Amino acid sequence: MPTPSASSKLRQVTAPHAPSSPVVRAIDVGFGLVKLTVNDDDGVNIIHFPSMAIPADASAVRSLGTRRRDTYDVPVNGALFEVGRDVGLAQAGGSFGRDVTDEFYRGTIYEALTKGALRYMAEAGDTHIDLLVLGLPVNQYNDAARRDYLRAHYEGEIDVGEGKKVTVNKVIVQAQPMGGYAAIGEELDELNAVITRTGGALEPLQSADDLDDLSVLMVDPGEHTLDWLLIQQGSINPRASGAASDAGRHRVVRAVQESLAADVGRPLGPAVMPRINEALRAGKPVKLSGTAHALDRFEPVVMSVVEDSINRMVDGLRDAHEIIDLIVLVGGHPERYRDVLAQRFPAIPVFVMPEPMAANVRGFQMIGEALAEG
């Protein structure tokens, strides 16, 4: 059976627990990547796989040379979906395998991805989880019915395919950027360096406890939404927190795809989007039909999307930007958002969490362990 390779690990979260400790795991299902914590010999680590679920093809060849494709078939509503680290190899034609709508968290693909994450946990030896932490974008989290749905749907015995089951005793749901906030205290040295360079009113922090005295704006530019949380005295200010739909990476990729299609003179289908996405992340040309297309000429298009998304967030803050002490970015691609925010608010430190893609799920694991031990 496939197992997560070392290259998929992002960061060790905790050392091995005593055998009697509660088993806590976390899953952050984003529109682009699923991040999750798994057990291994070193303790609890973070791995990830693409947020793609492809209808399973029983006749497909799953071997890659001497090894099996690192995917699993998981059941959802009587059908099987292939998910996992190598799921891109199952993609064909116009099958994008993603759901980038506001109903994502009630949908078939979300369920397949969550069950895929649980399957990775089961393969790592965790078939009984005492506490599972799940995340939602801010606008979804603010809907109590959505939180209740996730708790009801993922507590109990979950069939994760091929005769394997995972039992989850309890589910708690967090707003996604809250995970990043919980992990800030581990990065004080790097944070203080940014505070010092900014030269504004905020002084370097003496300890993580100092965060409770600040108004911290958490910004999470995700695949579909731009989420933000204003956290004051360690608690969310709901009136100044929110999310903007179609304001994340998918909109950037779509804008570049449309501009590229106009350049090459032919339509480009949804299967091209992951390739454009990876080319943008790597700062390399995208290869289509044997031709390399440089994407740097579309930088004005990208920045126009980012600036519009930041404007929507500032409007949603309802003038609360006047009281912000610190801005912290998480998510898989925060650099352009950092640059726009630093230009917009030059006296406020703008800090990108190390390994920002994993920051939320790392914080979820920390929150879960604190609750389980408490």
Please state, in angstroms and rounded to a whole number, the distance separating the CA atoms of residues 9 and 359. 13
Above 70 in pLDDT, residue 18? no
The residues near 294 (Cβ < 8 Å, ≥ 6 apart) are: 285
CA proximity to 323, closest of 219, 201, 207, 222: 201
Report the Cα 324 to chain-centroid distance in Å: 24
Above 50 in pLDDT, residue 96? no
Helix (H, G, I), strand (E, B) or coil at 169: strand
Q: How many CB atoms are located within 10 Å of the residue 362 CB?
A: 30
Q: Are strands 128-136 and 24-29 parallel, antiparallel or unpaired?
A: parallel
Average pLDDT over residues 290-307: 94
Above 90 in pLDDT, residue 359? yes
User: What are the strands of the beta sheet with 156-161, ordered from one edge?
Assistant: 12-14, 43-50, 33-40, 24-29, 128-136, 164-175, 156-161
Above 50 in pLDDT, residue 301? yes
Provide the pLDDT for residue 93.
Answer: 47
- pLDDT per position as a tens digit, 30-80: 877 899 999 987 789 999 999 889 998 876 766 666 678 899 999 999 999
In terms of Cβ atoms closer than 10 Å to its own Cβ (0-12, 13-18, 19+), residue 294 is exposed
Provide the pLDDT for residue 5.
Answer: 39
Among 27-31, 42-46, 104-108, where is mean pLDDT lowest?
104-108
- pLDDT per position as a tens digit, 202-246: 999 999 999 999 999 999 998 778 999 999 988 999 889 988 888
pTM for the predicted model, two decimal places: 0.87
More confident residue, 266 or 100: 266
Provide the pLDDT for residue 163.
Answer: 95
- pLDDT per position as a tens digit, 139-177: 788 889 999 999 999 999 999 999 999 999 999 999 999
Average pLDDT over residues 132-144: 88
Provide the pLDDT for residue 214.
Answer: 97
DSSP annotation of 104 = G
Among 83-97, 145-159, 328-342, where is mean pLDDT lowest?
83-97
Please state, in angstroms and rounded to a whole number, the distance separating the CA atoms of residues 235 and 215. 10
Q: What percent of the chain has pLDDT over 90?
A: 64
More confident residue, 12 or 211: 211
Above 50 in pLDDT, residue 4? no
In whole angstroms, how far apart are CA 182 and each of 158, 209, 305, 374?
A: 28, 11, 29, 16
Per-residue confidence at 95, pLDDT binned at 50, 70, 90?
very low
Above 60 in pLDDT, residue 1? no
Above 50 in pLDDT, residue 3? no
Report the Cα 256 to chain-centroid distance in Å: 22
Please state, rounded to an integer, the average pLDDT across all residues of the chain: 88
Provide the pLDDT for residue 230.
Answer: 96
In whole angstroms, how far apart are CA 195 and each of 162, 191, 357?
A: 51, 6, 22
The residues near 217 (Cβ < 8 Å, ≥ 6 apart) are: 228, 229, 230, 231, 317, 321, 324, 326, 327, 328
Question: Residue 255: enclosing H or E segment and its boundaries?
Answer: helix 249-264
Written as six digits, the tokens of 319 are 């003038």
Written as six digits, the tokens of 14 are 């905790």
Return the amino acid letter for 14: T
Per-residue confidence at 197, pLDDT binned at 50, 70, 90?
very high
